[in-house]
A and B are shown apart, each in its own frame.
Chain A
Amino acid sequence: AIRMTQSPSSLSASTGDRVTITCRASQGISSYLAWYQQKPGKAPKLLIYAASTLQSGVPSRFSGSGSGTDFTLTISCLQSEDFATYYCQQYYSYPITFGQGTRLEIK
């Protein structure tokens, strides 16, 4: 199975900050990578797919980049509603796997 490793596991930031979360795949996955946001008690929400394509309705302050094994999710100007847990996911091969999550907290 392809292992997805996110860093950091947790992150404290303030409203207005720019933050970057990294996801590394244990082997190349081309651009078959998605990012999800999950708030407590809620289902995950798709933010970005194909590594850098913004899902419809997602604010443009979210962006993704990378290909192969190294990927990043950037939030350019944190808003209060962005404090949540973020997961990367590879859908290049079976089994589909997720990163362990990055918890973004208010500083």
Chain B
Amino acid sequence: QVQLVQSGSELKKPGASVKVSCKASGYTFTSYAMNWVRQAPGQGLEWMGWINTNTGNPTYAQGFTGRFVFSLDTSVSTAYLQISSLKAEDTAVYYCARGYVDSYGHHDAFDIWGQGTMVTVSS
């Protein structure tokens, strides 16, 4: 079945880096964009941006530039989120979510979500 499976929870110290993976299965990976969404503890959903799985071109939302990098390995149908110079405020659950983007750049809703990866930043 169509699914996104993310890597497991991470505990990191401030200043370290983390790389979260999101492996797709059950569909053609390059037919859909991959979005990343953050949810801080007890808070709502925040869209971080998306990556074009055909071109590898990422688009970052404001507040997610510089330390955040989206990447792909299409040979294994996997998207990645890397966060560097981690801060305590990066503590959150990070979700990947599939969404269709048409040739005009119009997005669609996010129909498939990964299970989430909890990243905890603490000394």
A interface, CB within 8 angstroms of B: 1, 32, 34, 36, 38, 42-46, 49-50, 55, 87, 89, 91, 94-101
Contacts and interface: CB of A to CB of B under 8 A. Distances in A.
Contact of A44 (B49, B59, B95, B99): B95
Contact of A98 (B46, B59, B62, B108): B46
A54 B61 CA distance: 28
Chain A to chain B: the 9 pairs with minimum beta-carbon distance, closest first? A34-B109, A49-B109, A43-B113, A95-B61, A96-B47, A91-B107, A98-B45, A101-B44, A46-B111
Contacts of A101: 44-45
The interface residues of chain B, by DSSP majority, are classed as: strand
**Max count, chain A CB within 10 A of own CB: residue among B37, B44, B49, B116:** B44
By size class, the interface of chain B is 20 to 34
B111 A97 contact: no
A89 B109 CA distance: 8
B114 A43 contact: yes
B113 A45 contact: yes
Contacts of B113: 43-45
Interface in B25-51: 35, 37, 44-47, 49
Contacts of B115: 42-43
A91 B95 CA distance: 17
Nearest to B64: A95
Interface string B62-74: 1000000000000
